[in-house]
């Protein structure tokens, strides 16, 4: 049996899918899936479709370090493959960085579904008690919506959802969706945590509408890493101390730096 066939079978079983379910997901016959798993190989155009379905990179699907990567390293590879993680030299408010994170390149429904599931897992693992998911405009809007849907589909959790607006509408409203009420516990979803200043300003604007408690701030990356202390304090630490909130991120700046140093991306 070839390596890719073994990996397709392994990944399919890890997701709890039958051959028929995988066939339906990637729009082929179940006989084709059976053929792949028993010595055949999918056509080249099927590789990105299969990789997206399983939430892995094409390299991993082909067997390159499939079992060696941690979940964080796999996510960093996904960021790189999607163009979200950019290598080079960047000035981040006085800090010389060798990578940049541009979440606008999470553009497909598969990306959003995976992000929503990652965020939902982070929330549920912390056993948080909360009433509403709040997306921070603009990137956090779609990520928060995906998180809310993943909480419903994967965990059966029902919560309110809303997102803020950077510019009030014609009636002066800065929230779309659920109207926040005094005493509610919110989970704020955004793309990145840097200095924490912007997130703090947006939360304070929400708290002018209602006396809400921030249960957690969820993001893709805590951008703070070793060396930034000379530029600004940890934004995650600032948010945690100010609001008594959990700070939940899929990866940290140090995770990305380590992955780059190890040649993973």
Q: Where are the domains of the chain?
A: 3-68, 109-261
pLDDT given at position 118? 93
Average pLDDT (222-229) is 78
- pLDDT tens digits, 83-130: 999 998 888 767 788 899 999 999 999 899 989 999 999 999 999 999
pLDDT given at position 1? 41
How many other C-beta atoms can be found within 10 angstroms of the C-beta atom of residue 167?
Answer: 6
| pTM for this prediction | 0.74
pLDDT given at position 2? 67
CATH superfamily of domain region 3-68: lambda repressor-like DNA-binding domains (1.10.260.40)
State yes or no: pLDDT of 68 exceeds 90.
no
> DSSP per residue over 111-156, as a string?
HHHHHHHHHHHHHHHTT---SEEEEPTTHHHHHHHHHHHHHHHHH-
The 8 Å CB, 24+ separation contacts for 174-179 are: 174/205, 174/209, 175/206, 175/209, 178/132
Highest mean pLDDT pick, 71-75, 226-230, 247-251: 247-251
CATH number assigned to the domain covering 109-261: 3.40.50.2020
Average pLDDT (205-224) is 95
* Residue 67 confidence class, pLDDT cut points 50, 70, 90: low
262/265 Cα distance (integer angstroms): 8
């Amino acid at each position: 049996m070839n390596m890719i066939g073994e990996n397709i079978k392994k990944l399919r079983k890890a997701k709890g899918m039958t051959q028929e379910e995988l066939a339906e997901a990637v729009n082929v016959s179940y006989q084709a899936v059976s053929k792949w798993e028993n010595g055949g190989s999918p056509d080249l155009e099927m590789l990105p479709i299969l990789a997206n379905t399983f939430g892995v990179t094409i390299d991993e699907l082909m067997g390159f370090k499939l079992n060696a990567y941690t979940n964080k390293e796999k996510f960093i590879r996904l960021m790189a493959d999607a163009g979200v993680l950019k290598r080079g030299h960047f000035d981040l408010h006085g800090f010389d960085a060798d990578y940049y994170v541009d979440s606008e390149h999470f553009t497909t429904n598969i990306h959003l579904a995976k992000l929503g599931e990652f965020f939902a897992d982070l929330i549920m693992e912390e056993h948080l008690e909360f009433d509403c998911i709040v997306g921070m405009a603009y990137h956090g809007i779609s990520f928060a919506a995906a998180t809310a849907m993943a909480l419903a589909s994967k965990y059966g959790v029902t919560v309110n959802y809303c997102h803020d607006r950077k510019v009030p509408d014609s009636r002066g409203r800065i929230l779309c969706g659920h109207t926040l009420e005094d005493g509610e516990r919110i989970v704020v979803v955004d793309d990145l945590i840097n200095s924490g200043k912007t997130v703090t300003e947006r939360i304070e604007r929400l708290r002018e509408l209602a006396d809400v408690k921030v249960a957690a701030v969820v993001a893709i990356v805590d951008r703070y890493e070793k060396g930034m202390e000379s530029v600004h304090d940890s934004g995650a630490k600032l948010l945690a101390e100010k609001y008594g909130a959990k700070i939940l991120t899929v990866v940290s700046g140090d995770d990305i730096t380590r992955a780059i140093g190890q040649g993973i991306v």
